[in-house]
Structure 1
Amino acid sequence: MARPRRSESTREALIQAGITQLSAYGYHGSGIKQILDEVNVPKGSFYNFFGSKDAFVAELIDVYSQNLINQIVQFIKQDETELNTLDKLKAITLFSINTFEKSKFSNSCLIATISTDIDDKQPLSLAMLNQSIERCQKLFTLLFKQAQDEGLIRLDIMAEQLAKIYWSTWQGSLIRMRISKNKTDAQNCMMQLLALL
């Protein structure tokens, strides 16, 4: 009975180490060996858990995006009575920017980091990346719709389109912060975007 638990623990450790590595260095900048060395797992064991690097990264994206959505949902529930929906969107954005700054702009959003170097040579990762982006945009669509219902956000653009604009601007802001090592431009850009919406 101990063996399956150990195997599951090893698998989870590989996933967490993979998320950390790829969030910092991207798909092509992260080697399986780096991740295995961090977790102290022999190379042959990796393929007991994952069929390929592409399959591994697809799972990382899935786990990361589910965790991201859960964190946002928990954040929203936590401030349910204190903030209106527009203020929740601002708070989520500022919290995320400050979290990135605390990592000295090295450990970004996994989705933003690998979006720049995943292509059709990694079909599983690409499919999961698109699926994860859609899941995140659905959550933000609900938030923008709620803000519209509260009279806080413009009605001439559909909530789904507002979510896409927000998400694309957010991903671009993360990449810009990663390059500039400064949060000011990204913070101003995101707050101005929410003010315009």
Structure 2
Amino acid sequence: MARPRRSESTREALIKAGISQLSIYGYHGTGIKQILDEVKVPKGSFYNFFASKEAFVAELIIYYSKDLLAQLNAYFQHQAKDLTPLEKLKAINDLSLVKFADSDFQASCLIATISADIDADNSLCRQALNQAVGDCLQLIAALFEQAQQGGEVRRDIAPEQLAQLYWSTWQGALLRTKVAKDTQETRQCMELLLSTLCSHN
């Protein structure tokens, strides 16, 4: 009875180590061996769980996005329950930048890091990225729709389009932050974006 639990524990450890390594080094900068060395399991154990590196990374992307959305939803329901939708959008930026800075600007958003160096023919990872981004965009669009209903944000642009603009700006700003090793430029960029979208009625 204990064996399945050990196997699941190993699988979970591989996933968490993979997210940690790939968030820093990207797809091409991360080898399976360095993940196995961190978890301290033999190479054969990896292929008991994942068919290939591509399948492994694709699963990491989905795991990461689901966990991220779960954390955000829990935050919105508890610590941020009294914030307006627009304030929640700003809080997403602030929380992410604090976490990024705490890692000495190494561990960025996994989705952004993988998107930056994934091969065009890696269909498994591209499909996972598209799914993850789509799920994130749904949450952001819902916040923009709520902000529109509350009169915080302009209503002449569909919330889905606002979410896409927000996401693309945010992902680009994260890459810039990694190079500059400073959050100020990104904070100013996102604040300008959101203030530009604010309703002036």
Task: Give the TM-score, by structure 2 length.
Answer: 0.96
1:41 is aligned to 2:41: yes
User: What is the deviation of 1:81?
Assistant: 4.3
* Secondary structure, counterpart of 2:117 in structure 1: coil
Provide the C-alpha distance between the structure 1 equivalents of 2:123 and 2:174, rounded to a whole number of angstroms: 24
What is the match of residue 63 of structure 1?
Answer: 63
Q: Which amino acid aligns with 1:186?
A: T
* Secondary structure, counterpart of 1:116 in structure 2: helix
Provide the C-alpha distance between the structure 2 equivalents of 1:19 and 1:118, rounded to a whole number of angstroms: 15
What is the match of residue 84 of structure 1?
Answer: 84
Structure 2: 5+ residue runs without aligned partners?
Answer: none
Larger CA deviation: 113-122 vs 179-188: 113-122
What is the match of residue 4 of structure 1?
Answer: 4
* Secondary structure, counterpart of 1:154 in structure 2: coil
What is the match of residue 145 of structure 1?
Answer: 145
Structure 1: 5+ residue runs without aligned partners?
Answer: none
Provide the C-alpha distance between the structure 2 equivalents of 1:45 and 1:184, rounded to a whole number of angstroms: 43
Q: Which amino acid aligns with 1:104?
A: D
Provide the C-alpha distance between the structure 1 equivalents of 2:46 and 2:106, rounded to a whole number of angstroms: 26
1:17 is aligned to 2:32: no
1:195 is aligned to 2:195: yes
Q: Which amino acid aligns with 2:179?
A: I
What is the match of residue 186 of structure 1?
Answer: 186
* CA displacement 1:53-92 (0-9 Å, x = unmatched): 0000000000000011111111111145421111111112
* CA displacement 1:116-148 (0-9 Å, x = unmatched): 111333211110001100110011000000000
Find runs of 4+ consecutive structure 1 residues off by over 4 angstroms.
none
Provide the C-alpha distance between the structure 2 equivalents of 1:81 and 1:121, rounded to a whole number of angstroms: 42
Provide the C-alpha distance between the structure 1 equivalents of 2:140 and 2:81, rounded to a whole number of angstroms: 19
